[in-house]
Chain A
Amino acid sequence: MSPPLLTIEDVAVELPTPRGDLRAVDHVDLSLEPGRTLGIVGESGCGKTMLSRAILQLLPKKAKLSGRVMFDGRDLVRLAPESLRRLRARDLAVVFQDPMTSLNPVLTIGTQLMETIQEHLELDVPAARKRSIELLAAVGIPAPEQRLAQYPHQCSGGMRQRIAIAIALSCEPKLLIADEPTTALDVTIQAQILDLLAREQRRRHMAMIIITHDLGVVAGRADEVAVMYAGRVVERAPTQALFKRMHMPYTEALLAAIPKLETAPHTPLPAISGRPPDPTRPLKGCSFAPRCRYAAGRCHAAKPELKSAEISGHLYACFHPIQMAEGMSA
């Protein structure tokens, strides 16, 4: 296996709030090899977006970040702002969740694409324009030349997300972070966007992190999945191994909460009862224990560490992993 492109070591993010410090990301370790895909899955507020912002060095000013984010041999946390700026878009790009708000409403699509290209690649205006048209065509925008002069509000949501992807791809990044790239889109468009990302990833041999609350999104698309809960990675495994046999009750509950086609109509969805713990008041035991149907006395008293399962590369943090002979099918 090639050396990792991205290694996150002991990353923690704390946000000061009036009620005390909020630990959004609680000592996370992850790594990703070039050209591979990592899915980060968890419900709202589990810290997955904060983790992505920590990698991107786009945390709110007040946030406190500790740990190391080694990217291509350099620690992004300690990199000088100017070096970091030069590395953005060229090496490290992002697609945000909501294409309605992530494009500037008062600048044309052409400006927003070309400024990125001209900032990082030494191209003159006609060359940058030509490249922009090619990029828009590559992400499936019809009549790309006309689109350059248009503004974001003249495009549909799916179209805007394609444009955001074109911007992210514009300087051939080594790593693309897609933060819930399809959550704000119509269901019919979601698969198209995910397929587009997968296709461009293969074509450019780019590493990708897909952040989502939907295990179904990462099922066929990620090489490895990390499940986050209350700021921690609670289970991490190669995708196939995870879906074959999940160890962490939270992962199981997350999968069970996805509606399935084969279930009879009017069957109540097994939603996860309760709410995630208050991140300003960390629990002594396992953060999922209050909502977990397998929880026993020990779960409330001590925090389980991430430990290896039988299959190599499969880690989980649970005292009472699910004892199932065969895993659930997605």
Chain B
Amino acid sequence: MVAFIARRFLYVVPVLLAVSLLTFLIASLLPGDLAYVILGDQATPEKVAALRHDMGLDQPLWWRYLSWLGHVLQGDLGRSFRTGQTVLQAVSERIPVSFELMLMAEFIGLLIGVPVAIACAARAGSAFDRFMTGSAFAMLSMPSFLVAILLIYLFAVELHWLPATGYVPFTEEPLANLRFFVLPALTLALAEWPGIMRVLRSDMIATLQEDYIALAKAKGLKPSRILFVHALKPSSLTLVTVTGINIGRLLGGTLIVESIFALPGIGRLLVGAIYTRDLVILQGVVLLVACGFVIVNFIVDMLYAVLDPRIRHGHA
């Protein structure tokens, strides 16, 4: 198992390097000179040249990448020239919001998707299965801003059950905090569960055809044990992959949902950085989000090994 983790980790290092290079290139190759952005379009060429020299912008690209990478490796991702905040400060302020939203959305998504998938697979082709598969497809095709507006209209405007927008930290008012998160998390979950359900359903249907399921039946096991112990575990590899990708994506914040519900998460930070051309923040946040994504996928790989002993023992 230790060897397996070490082997997997060796894959992560080059991926992270590639991510840092791409992030750097995106920020550097964007049109417009950072010095002009800072000084405004009234700046004299001399002042621009001086600032470019101070910031190292007159150095060759590879040199700038290496010196940026060197700083990053020491934990210095730079500082916003607009707010003076460091990237790490800005991100650590907002990551709890995006993290909480991700957790709740993924939790609700799995809570709907997994039982529906199992129920559909157990009765594949039945009226229930066809109805749920159809509903999932309909949900999948609904854009999240539309779902968000419908939910706000129903639960906030009509029923007054939940607040439409806003945020308080969990540490100050836990209950109010959770109430603020229900609608945005539900909006995301309604987009998540169809994918979860479809992937798990088709894997389950395939697994239920296996000889070992026939043997489990021949052994006279209870139907629930056959479904949850014999069929669910070998069917959940793709589910874990999809969940991992979802988590990675939601960790990076959700631009639309965070904006609609006025949640101060990573997504809003990114949108702000793009509007104000705050390239240092943009570059730092993208790098951190990408790293988070890679780490989540590393954890997913570990989970494969937990789920399937053949991977653990290096047979597959």
Query: Are the C-beta atoms of A93 and B234 separated by less than 8 Å?
Result: no
Q: Which residues of B contact A104 (CB under 8 A)?
A: 212, 216, 230, 234
Closest chain-A Cβ to B234's Cβ sits at a distance in Å of 5
Q: Which residues of A contact B211 (CB under 8 A)?
A: 96, 98, 101-102
Query: Are the C-beta atoms of B220 and A101 separated by less than 8 Å?
Result: no
| B window 212-256: CB within 8 A of A | 212, 214-222, 225, 229-230, 233-234
Is there a chain B Cβ closer than 8 Å to A324's Cβ? no
Is there a chain B Cβ closer than 8 Å to A225's Cβ? no
Query: Are the C-beta atoms of A154 and B221 separated by less than 8 Å?
Result: no
Q: Which residues of A contact B310 (CB under 8 A)?
A: 105, 151, 153
Query: Are the C-beta atoms of B222 and A102 separated by less than 8 Å?
Result: no
Closest chain-A Cβ to B63's Cβ sits at a distance in Å of 51
Closest chain-B Cβ to A69's Cβ sits at a distance in Å of 15
Closest chain-A Cβ to B280's Cβ sits at a distance in Å of 47
Number of A residues contacting the other chain (C-beta, 8 Å)?
A: 29
Q: Which residues of A contact B222 (CB under 8 A)?
A: 85, 119
Closest chain-A Cβ to B219's Cβ sits at a distance in Å of 5
* A153 contact from B225, B233, B234, B313, Cβ within 8 A: B313
Q: Which residues of B contact A261 (CB under 8 A)?
A: none
Q: Which residues of A contact B212 (CB under 8 A)?
A: 101-105
Query: Are the C-beta atoms of B309 and A115 separated by less than 8 Å?
Result: no
Is there a chain A Cβ closer than 8 Å to B210's Cβ? yes
Is there a chain B Cβ closer than 8 Å to A120's Cβ? yes
A96-B215 contact given A89-B220, A115-B225, A153-B310, CB 8 Å threshold = yes
Chain A 70-112 interface 0/1 with B at a Cβ cutoff of 8 Å (1 = within): 0000000000000001111110111010100111111100000
Closest chain-A Cβ to B240's Cβ sits at a distance in Å of 13
A105-B308 contact given A115-B221, A119-B222, CB 8 Å threshold = yes
- Using a Cβ cutoff of 8 Å, how many contacts connect chains A and B? 74
Query: Are the C-beta atoms of B308 and A119 separated by less than 8 Å?
Result: no
Is there a chain B Cβ closer than 8 Å to A116's Cβ? yes
Query: Are the C-beta atoms of A119 and B219 separated by less than 8 Å?
Result: yes
Is there a chain A Cβ closer than 8 Å to B7's Cβ? no
Chain B residue at minimum C-beta to C-beta distance from A120: B220
Query: Are the C-beta atoms of B309 and A94 separated by less than 8 Å?
Result: no
* B221 contact from A93, A106, A116, A151, Cβ within 8 A: A116
**Chain A interface residues toward B at CB < 8 A:** 56, 58, 85-90, 92-94, 96, 98, 101-107, 115-116, 119-120, 151, 153-154, 164, 167
Report 25 cross-chain contacts, Cβ distance below 8 Å, ordered by A residue.
A85-B221, A86-B220, A88-B218, A88-B220, A89-B218, A89-B219, A90-B220, A102-B211, A102-B214, A103-B212, A103-B215, A105-B308, A105-B309, A106-B233, A107-B230, A115-B225, A116-B220, A119-B220, A119-B221, A119-B222, A151-B313, A153-B310, A153-B313, A154-B313, A167-B215
6 nearest interchain CB pairs?
Answer: A88-B220, A101-B211, A151-B309, A104-B212, A102-B211, A89-B220
A151-B310, A153-B313 given; name 20 further pairs at CB < 8 Å.
Answer: A85-B222, A88-B217, A88-B218, A88-B219, A88-B220, A89-B218, A96-B214, A101-B210, A101-B212, A104-B216, A104-B230, A105-B309, A106-B233, A106-B234, A119-B220, A119-B221, A120-B220, A153-B309, A153-B310, A167-B215
